[in-house]
Structure 1
Amino acid sequence: MGLLETAHRPADVLQAAALYMAEEFRPDGFRWIKSRRCFERRGQGGRVERMTLEPSRHNRAGSFVRSAVAQLRVDESDLGDWRTANHLLMVIRPAGALDVLCATSCHDLAWAGFRNTVDLTHPETRVARLVALCEQNRQTVLPWFASTRDPQRLVALAPDALLGPFAFVPDLVEFLVPRGQRGQARVDRTRAGD
């Protein structure tokens, strides 16, 4: 039996679950960053994709242990450099958010049927539940990340959650313009919620 099946304290269960998920996501290029409680994948142009885990505040040893994939975030240092050089053309944002291409709470994806929470209370069901969570992430989260990689097809691939009126349209426009994709930056108003 491994630590995932024998751990009792919520912190130990969650660390074992994160290490299990890290092995599942290793072929996809992600690694577990314990200090940030996230899975991280690095790419070209200073691109960093992150899935952040969050323990439930109600976790209690032996009676309740849950965790959630709480946030998705894509940063690109090249985008931050462009925003710094073109500060008069961009949306005003804090200096610490200059690299952010897009981010979302996974709780916001629940409307699309995404179940981001996993119950790890019972040792005998932990592996099966983590397998299901990882599979759901492959079907929902990895395509979400992929939708922001190709500037030429961004609008066609981006989920509606990224294009809504209170979402990331300004951030995506700022991503597209320096890449010569002004046509893509003119988002179809019906997709943007107007």
Structure 2
Amino acid sequence: MTPPLTLQTATRPGDVVQAAGRWLGEDLALCGFRWLASTATLQRSLGERVEQIVLQGSTRNRAGKQLLVSLQVVVRDRALLRWQRAHPEVALSGTDWLVGHPLGYVAGRVNGCVYGCYDDGVFDLLDPAGRPATVAAVSAVIRHSVLPWLEETARPDLMMAAPSITLELGGSSILEWLASQGRTDLINQVVNRVVSSRPGMRDRVERGGQLAQRGQWPSPDDRAEALGWSAEMLTGGRDGRVAHDDPVATS
């Protein structure tokens, strides 16, 4: 039986991704992660919650020429899916997806603040000699930045401290999750934090709330409109107005 290719012997981009994933899976095993080769995903399950770190090779990768790998962080929650199915009148989505975005957005965390960007989650594995050090650096980012982010997104009270980009991209799914956890009191705080970080969304968020009041559904392609709609529907209009002058900590 041919032994699996290692970080330094693999040449094809797909083989390098698999070798990197196996290395990370072994290194993060004590944290509960395992490598799923079929989906190129590091995954751990905590009850009905599933946390994933997905390795994605660039479509432009070519052996000996380019080998870039980007990482995505994803949280899924089967309890959220059950809640959505039980409340179709207020649920916009019907999957177990809670939140997810490029790992780079949380890769530069210092004292709870975020200084990362998309490129901070992209790693160059072209040089075979340098791959072990690069993958070790990826593991360090996961331990020091991603694990705290996963802890934040696991509890309603801590979700409020998550990066504003996390709250924005999670959108209605996060609001529905808060409702499923019995924490509708946090819904408008999340909305206000998102709007404070992205003032340009305000009009569309408010339009979504107005649609809910008229018994209409938001556009499936407008995240801001959906956010306002969900906030109105899930709070029953209680304190549902989006604050214009609420001081909010930035991420």
In the superposition, the TM-score normalised over structure 1's length comes to 0.84
Unaligned runs of 5+ in 1: none
DSSP 3-state at the match of 1:4: coil
The separation in 2 between residues aligned to 1:124 and 1:188, in whole angstroms, is 45
Higher strand share: 1
Q: Which amino acid aligns with 1:193?
A: V
- How far off its partner does 1:190 sit? 4.3
* Aligned twin of 1:75: 76
Unaligned runs of 5+ in 2: 108-113, 197-251
- How far off its partner does 1:6 sit? 1.9
Which of 13, 30, 35 aligns to 1:32? It is 35
* Aligned twin of 1:84: 85
DSSP 3-state at the match of 1:170: helix
The separation in 1 between residues aligned to 2:96 and 2:58, in whole angstroms, is 29
* Aligned twin of 2:8: 5
* Deviation by residue 1:144-168 (Cα, 9 ceiling, x = unmatched): 221111123321x32211223xx22
Q: Which moved more, 1:20-29 or 1:139-148?
A: 139-148
The separation in 2 between residues aligned to 1:87 and 1:171, in whole angstroms, is 13
Q: Is residue 167–residue 190 contact of structure 2 (8 Å, CA) maintained in 1? A: no
* Aligned twin of 2:56: 54
Q: Is residue 101–residue 172 contact of structure 1 (8 Å, CA) maintained in 2? A: yes
Q: Which amino acid aligns with 2:6?
A: L
- How far off its partner does 1:7 sit? 2.0
Q: Which amino acid aligns with 2:21?
A: A
Point out the structure with max Rg over C-alpha.
2
* Aligned twin of 1:186: 188
Q: Is residue 147–residue 159 contact of structure 1 (8 Å, CA) maintained in 2? A: no
Higher RCO structure, 1 or 2 (CA under 8 Å, sep 6+): 1
Q: Which amino acid aligns with 1:145?
A: L
Q: Is residue 63–residue 121 contact of structure 1 (8 Å, CA) maintained in 2? A: yes
- How far off its partner does 1:108 sit? 5.7
- How far off its partner does 1:109 sit? 5.8
Aligned length: 184
Q: Which amino acid aligns with 1:181?
A: R
DSSP 3-state at the match of 1:158: coil
Which of 134, 140, 157 aligns to 1:135? It is 140
* Deviation by residue 1:68-109 (Cα, 9 ceiling, x = unmatched): 21x22111111100110011122x23x4xx211112234666
The separation in 2 between residues aligned to 1:190 and 1:79, in whole angstroms, is 23
Cα RMSD for the two superposed structures: 2.2
CA 177–190 in structure 1, closer or farther in 2 if over 3 Å, else same: closer
Instruction: Report the identity percentage.
Output: 30
